[in-house]
Amino acid sequence: MKFNTKTIHGGQIKEKGYGAVMPPIYQTSTYSQTSPGEHKGYEYSRTHNPTRSALENSLASIENGKYGLAFSSGLSAIDAVLKLFDPGDEIISTNDLYGGSYRLFEKVFKKFGLKFIFSDLQNLNEVSKLVSKKTKLIWVETPTNPMMNLIDINAISKICKRNKILLAVDNTFATPYLQKPLDLGADIVMHSATKYLAGHSDVILGALIVNDSELAERLYFLQNSSGAICGPMDSFLTLRGIKTLHVRMERHCYNAEKIVHFLSNHKKIDKLYWPGISTHPKHTLAKSQMSGFGGMVSFTTKNGSFKSVQEITSKLKVFTLAESLGGVESLANHPASMTHASIPKDLREKTGVVDSLIRLSVGIEDIDDLISDIEQAIG
């Protein structure tokens, strides 16, 4: 089955009761048993729920994995991965990580004895140097937010295999439409399905996808034991979102490319960050690792004052000034005052998050309206 068919049918079982084409929302906590322990595979909805199972099977299918697990949020999915490890274990991670993941690592799991090492994982020699006997996991995000740095998943997976370390990839930005980490050698794929997978800015949900049955077993155990599962309604909405993932992503990529072209010819624009530009330092890797360049675009203006950028973002009409990304509607974000405001100025500027940086989550509206909106805002 090809990807564009998998998004609609992958892992789905035909409903026998009434022939419903969409899996029903099984809004139930428990299931009747004919005699003690005799049931139809479902006993209690923390453990399993048929709507969640339909979503989990879809997730596995689109990521070319065997096992899918759905959680109440992206962060609770990461939380389950971290609980695989023991005090003293070391985890190496990208230094320009999603802020919430960083907070979970440093402010929650560090005190339980896990050690986190943050580094620029674009530099492969550096990665090999950081690996020790205690290293158990490398956690990668690619492309990164908001600087669009790219990490070579296949090269890192080779280092991991040599050292018997697990590799997890946060695939939220790229989605399996553009990048399939399991095919590239990763052991765990993680998603904030809140973003592109669900795609309509109406649900918070997280996912893990793996191939190894023993690893899947340990994660299902943690999912059921800690209980951060998503409800049937959210599972249904995400499953519905996935059915149009390929069509939406095609338009996200198309619109982003047109906007990048417009910005690259604009005299007030200074730097542009998008993996599809030939001058992007990892453009060659983007072409080999991804099948397109995505809908996230960051840029800086030449008059880079905090105030001038805030003025631009507040003039936008079609773009909504908001956090989050990946929905059908276009969003603009000023990282320095919004998503990355909690990071000290000197630290964030070192990674490129300067006051004049604007991040766009390009939606699927008509491209002419999007470009006119940016044009009138920048002036």
Ligand X SMILES: *Cc1c(COP(=O)(O)O)cnc(C)c1O
- Count Cβ atoms below 10 Å from residue 284 Cβ, excluding itself: 11
Q: How far is the CB of 61 from ligand X (least distance, A)?
A: 21
Instruction: Choose the stretch contacting ligand X; rule: CB under 6 A; options: 55-63, 69-77, 216-224, 327-335.
Output: 69-77
Q: Is 359 a catalytic residue?
A: no
Q: How far is residue 282's CA from residue 297's CA, in Å, rounded to a whole number?
A: 15
Helices 245-264, 367-378: crossing angle, 10 deg rounding: 40
Candidate residues 63, 79, 90, 170; the one interacting with ligand X per rule CB under 6 A = 170
> Contacts with ligand X in 83-122 (CB under 6 A)?
98, 100-101
Nearest to ligand X of 252, 373 (CB atom): 252
Instruction: Please indicate whether residue 366 is annotated as part of the active site.
Output: no
- What is the per-residue binding string for ligand X in 181-210, x denoting contact by CB under 6 A? -----------x-xx--------x-x----
Q: Is 98 in the active site?
A: yes
- According to the binding rule CB under 6 A, does residue 275 interact with ligand X? no
Cα 262 from Cα 272, distance rounded (Å): 11
Closest residue to bound ligand X by CB:
74
Catalytic residue among 195, 248, 348, 359: 195
* Residue number with CB closer to ligand X (203 or 374): 203
The span from the CA of 350 to the CA of 89, in Å, is 28
| Residue entry with tokens 């609770």 | 76
How far, in Å, CA of 153 to CA of 145, rounded? 17
Mark residues 119-148: x for contact with ligand X by CB under 6 A, - for none.
Answer: ----------------------x---x---
**Per CB under 6 A, 339 contacts ligand X:** no
Among 71, 76, 363, 77, CA closest to 234: 71
Active site residue 67: no
**Structural contact between residues 73 and 172, judged by C-beta atoms closer than 8 angstroms:** no
Q: Pick the catalytic residue: 42, 46, 66, 212?
A: 46
* CA distances to 30, 90, 234, 349 from 148, in Å: 44, 26, 29, 15
Count of residues in contact with ligand X, rule CB under 6 A: 16
Closest separation between CB of residue 27 and ligand X, Å?
22
Residue 73 in the binding site for ligand X (CB under 6 A): yes
> Considering beta carbons, is residue 343 or 378 the nearer one to ligand X?
343
DSSP-assigned states of every residue in 230-282: PPHHHHHHHHHHHTTHHHHHHHHHHHHHHHHHHHHT-TTEEEEE-TTSTTSTT
Is residue 232 close enough to count as binding ligand X by CB under 6 A? no
| Strands in the chain per DSSP E | 67-71, 90-94, 115-119, 135-141, 166-170, 188-192, 206-210, 269-273, 296-301, 320-321, 331-333, 357-361
- For ligand X, the closer of residues 353 and 378 by Cβ is 353
Is residue 149 a contact point for ligand X (CB under 6 A)?
A: no
The distance of closest approach from Cβ of residue 351 to ligand X in the complex, given in angstroms and rounded to an integer, is 15
Task: List contacts with ligand X (CB under 6 A).
Answer: 73-75, 98, 100-101, 141, 145, 170, 172-173, 192, 194-195, 204, 206
Query: Which are the catalytic amino acids?
Result: 46, 98, 170, 195
